[in-house]
Amino acid sequence: MIKKDQIIAQIGHPILRKKTLEVETKNIKSEEVINITTELVKIMRMFNGAGLAANQIFHNLRICVIEIKNNSRYSFLPNIPLKILINPKIFILNKKNTFNSFEGCLSVPNLRGMVKRYEEIKVDYYNEKAQHKSEIIKGFAAIVYQHEIDHLDGILFTDRVINNKSLVTYENYIKFYEKKYKESIIKNFYQ
Ligand code: ZN
């Protein structure tokens, strides 16, 4: 049987700490990039991730995917349609508007921790058709974008926890924190 750490790089693997290389514009529609994108979507869905970055599956390129679709790990969240981001660049639009996000990661086994994220961002990127896009992202989706684009810069959520005491196992997150966290998301983003 293939083990998870052969498919998804786990914390401690050096590739997670490298700043990924930009995809050359002429290569966006290349077979290599198409294959990586297809693999990212497949593996993200296989492990119920909300997103996945190319360096998490051992490709040192600035590509990530995002999707929330009836996700069992994030059952309380509304759907985010599949997004493929090539060479994404992030701009924070409002530094004052932040949300404390209780995050986990497919590269960090069994751990959740509280991270401060911005609620309004702009993302410039190329899509899989090599079209340049610039989009304003607000609400919970902005948090997922920041987590994934951090990966492309070699940053893990554990680097950003606001307090080490917020680090908990997944089981204890479900047991002691999930209910309150769900309420804070609904109150902050969906009311
Ligand atoms: Zn992650």
The domain segmentation of the chain, as residue ranges, is 4-189
- Rounded distance between C-alpha atoms, residue 28 and residue 88, angstroms: 13
67 is catalytic: no
CATH number, domain 4-189:
3.90.45.10
| pLDDT at residue 79, as a whole number | 85
Spacing, Cα 105 to ligand 1 middle (Å): 4
| pLDDT at residue 191, as a whole number | 76
| pLDDT at residue 5, as a whole number | 82
Spacing, Cα 29 to ligand 1 middle (Å): 25
Spacing, Cα 169 to ligand 1 middle (Å): 16
- Give every residue of the chain whose pLDDT is below 50, as ranges: none
| pLDDT at residue 3, as a whole number | 79
Residue ranges with CB less than 5 Å from ion ligand 1: 105
Backbone angles phi, psi at 82, to 5 degrees: -55, 135
| pLDDT at residue 37, as a whole number | 98
Asked whether 16 and 9 are in contact (CB, 8 A), the reply is: yes
Spacing, Cα 158 to ligand 1 middle (Å): 10
- Rounded distance between C-alpha atoms, residue 13 and residue 15, angstroms: 6
Q: What is the dihedral of CA 153, 156, 160, 164, to 10 degrees?
A: -160
